[in-house]
Structure 1
């Protein structure tokens, strides 16, 4: 893959506590000799492959030059002093720090290409989801397939829209609850569970559905709610009071229910449990699940990629959200039919994600989603 396509990745990272340190570190590290860079690369690549610390004896066997374990230890001491590696236990091997991973990603990472098999899978699955042209279907499929291909959790954010309505229906669940189904003109379907007033007759739900469908078709939620507020006062005698309350609550559950301007889709959290190697991993995953429940903070974090309109990689404690769980996020923006950035998609997983494979995969998936959504000039090839 041409180097120019990845220039923005190497220069773009999450603002955080390391921003001021990175220029001070990367300048001298760019001048260190080849053996130090190779030893550092081996420590990182071993960690990405196994999650385990690696010692000087093993490194001396792996590097393409003749160095004794003692010489390797001397270089490792310098790398540790620079804050790029650390010893998790006394007399153990070394692991990269979050700062070391950032340096590796920005300066040493060799980006691969998306395999033909993965390209075919991504294009086929996203295109199939887009045949019915439901935006939610495309985004949920993209999130699910990224989870499956990366063994992490797939994540997508999308800007909330105010679609024009096609149909509204109230379906009884039990005497105290009903399911409100809203279908928009572009094919999106959303459901909400709505509490019902005590004593509501079964016919009231049918009456509420008929009343709304006769008046809101072709209107946005904002338009429909404004008109209904006025109309309910004017036609108070036409509707029973309980039915009127159902109509009003049904529209309010969409147009005023949530303050966030973005929606979040997360798929495949269970994938994160498939590669546990120790009790520490289990605790880290538990903390990550807690992080994923903090949807407001996650949406804010991913919003940074929308603002930058480019690929972003957030590593471990660079982000306050993932400072405890030691997780990384790789995300890329996707565009709508007018070429505007409307959300981001990507992968959340442990810091030892296969960055070289997942970075181009996320970028390619974002291009395919943009193409399916009709973004002009989008080429996923």
Structure 2
């Protein structure tokens, strides 16, 4: 039975009791009992009558009763029904909008830093973990240079023709002299100017393999290692997760601790999560994944609220969102995620 058909099959009493139970669960994370509901109803109704209605809703698969309590909690099906048919989404305050814009703009044109900051900001505002996919930078390059940080590491600074700056940290081969680092930077900058890394990668590697490149051995290693990393290797987006430690602050019982442990394992499977986030690029607007609706969260029983963001060509290039337990404050977080995605889209446009 579809959500609309289920909603239409419920009478006014059932709808009101169902709504109060889900709202109570989202507020406390605990089962909601019949006495609590009878006190909240607009019309007088005995706890016994409330229990009868709760049993009917349980038979429909919308509620269940944990073995530790006589109260009820929404099933994943019930939670989905509530979000699609009953949830009243709030609106952001002017201060919240200004805070989101300020955090995103503060880091200027550095693409990765901006997305990291936005993810961190969502984590702070929501109280859960924020996550964002950083797409490969496929804009043509205007400038590239290496900045030595230590004997074994360097920062590569890439500037696109659109003015977006992206920094990457790379490992350096042992014994690399500054002259080889400068040589590698000049070589790449000359060949990449006006092209994307993906476009130029194969030609550059072929030139090195055939010894046509005028590079010493160590500089060649820097170029090869850099191209493998910057071109993305498997072609997928990169994932940034911020504030995962906040998920532990929501733990209320041993069962919750086990759920968070499983979620941490899910988050470690970043390739699966990136693929899942890439699916949001198939449509506009906020998407909500609840528990076993996603294979990734089938064990941890988590929810993810995520929205795609687009570049100046209206091409969806990434996604940003919040992940946490199923009792997220959907009404508050949905507009927060949506607005952040819109702000990012304007900034990268």
- Are residues 1:342 and 2:317 paired? yes
Q: Which runs of 4+ in 1 moved over 6 A?
A: none
Of 76, 85, 101, 1:123 maps to 101
CA gap 1:92/1:258 in 2 versus in 1, 3 angstroms:
farther
Alpha-carbon deviations, 1:278-331, whole Å to 9, x = none? Answer: 121111111111111111211222222210222211111111111111111111
CA gap 1:64/1:346 in 2 versus in 1, 3 angstroms:
same
- Aligned match of 1:373: 348
Q: CA deviation at 1:28?
A: 4.2
- Aligned match of 2:166: 189
- Aligned match of 2:246: 271
Give runs of aligned pairs for residues 282-321 of structure 1, distance below 5 A.
Answer: 282-321=257-296
Separation (CA, whole Å) in 1 of partners of 2:69 and 2:187: 75
Q: Is the 8 A contact 1:154 1:348 kept in 2?
A: yes
- Are residues 1:75 and 2:50 paired? no
Separation (CA, whole Å) in 1 of partners of 2:5 and 2:187: 69
Alpha-carbon deviations, 1:244-275, whole Å to 9, x = none? Answer: 333333323322x5213322222111221222
Q: How many residues align?
A: 345
Separation (CA, whole Å) in 2 of partners of 1:234 and 1:83: 68
- Secondary structure, counterpart of 1:321 in structure 2: helix
- Aligned match of 1:46: 24
- Aligned match of 2:78: 100
Separation (CA, whole Å) in 2 of partners of 1:272 and 1:90: 23
Q: TM-score scaled by structure 2?
A: 0.89
- Aligned match of 1:178: 153
Task: Say what the alpha-carbon RMSD is for the aligned residues.
Answer: 2.4
Separation (CA, whole Å) in 2 of partners of 1:102 and 1:136: 33
Separation (CA, whole Å) in 2 of partners of 1:215 and 1:305: 35
Q: CA deviation at 1:73?
A: 0.8
Q: Is the 8 A contact 1:166 1:218 kept in 2?
A: no
Alpha-carbon deviations, 1:201-246, whole Å to 9, x = none? Answer: 665444434444455444422344344335433546x543344333
- Secondary structure, counterpart of 1:169 in structure 2: strand
Q: CA deviation at 1:53?
A: 0.6
**Structure 2 unaligned residues grouped into runs of 5+:** none
**Structure 1 unaligned residues grouped into runs of 5+:** 1-21, 375-381
- Aligned match of 1:137: 113
Q: CA deviation at 1:76?
A: 0.7
- Aligned match of 1:15: none
Q: CA deviation at 1:26?
A: 4.2
- Are residues 1:360 and 2:335 paired? yes
Of 145, 150, 156, 1:168 maps to 145
